[in-house]
Amino acid sequence: MDSTPPPGPRPSTRERFNALLSEWGPLLVIVYFSIFGIVLVGFVTAIKLGLRPEGAPGAVGTWGAAYVATQLTKPLRIAATFLITPALGTLIRRFRRPQPVAAENEAPPRALEETPSGER
């Protein structure tokens, strides 16, 4: 007989987001805005390759259209952020050097204190 307990209720999206934010914090924000920037510039490039706007109004129109298209991809960008951030964070942790731990009995090194006249 299988004695494993039945799975509990699945956490809500907000709870999963808060857990991800508390664990990865700044990396989550960096990944999200990096994806946003890449998608925005990609849409601007695609629009410019397919459409040749002239003058300043055309350039503003290109960026505006690219921004609207980028906002339409928001659910996909959020999903990509949820998938990429933990994997990237794990990769970063793997290659980061461990910080040396000071022994409890050792006092931290003290800086030499100088008086205004240069005497010690």
pLDDT digits (tens, 9 = 90+) for 52-100: 656 655 666 888 888 988 999 999 998 998 899 888 988 888 887 776 6
Two structure tokens written together for 16: 């999963």
55: alpha, beta or left? (left if phi > 0; alpha if psi -120 to 50): left
Among 91, 90, 44, 99, CA closest to 67: 44
pTM of the model: 0.62
